Amino acid sequence: MTARTPETVSVDLDRSEVALIIGEDEDNGMSVRVVAGSEMPEGASELPAAPEIVLALAMRLLKDPDFHDDVLDWYYEHQDEDEEEEDEETPGHEEED
């Protein structure tokens, strides 16, 4: 049996951007990677806000098994709000009484 190599996708980040990449491994476990658009200085006492937030999210996802459920719950609860905002911004859309 031949192991299947997953396809990869390239993403270009601006130097100031940081990406949180979440996936599933072969055992249906979660994989988490952090990729920065530029090198972080070695020995820096503080990180800029964006990398620090992304690292905090990554650590929370890895160390708190219930956190991803909370994030999904939050997403689904607020998804309807986003759709309502889009409808309100659509020209010619009027609410029916």
pLDDT tens digits, one per residue of 36-91: 898 877 777 888 888 889 999 999 988 998 998 898 899 899 887 767 777 676 66
Q: Residue 2's pLDDT is what? A: 56
Q: Residue 45's pLDDT is what? A: 80
Comparing CA positions, the residue from 22, 57, 20 lying closest to residue 36 is 20
End-to-end C-alpha distance for the chain, whole angstroms: 62
Residue type, 85: E
Of 15 and 5, the one with more pLDDT:
15
Q: Residue 58's pLDDT is what? A: 92
Q: Residue 95's pLDDT is what? A: 55
Token pair of 41 as six digits? 């200085």
Comparing CA positions, the residue from 22, 11, 28, 37 lying closest to residue 67 is 22
Q: Residue 56's pLDDT is what? A: 92
Q: What is the arithmetic mean of pLDDT over 22-40?
A: 83
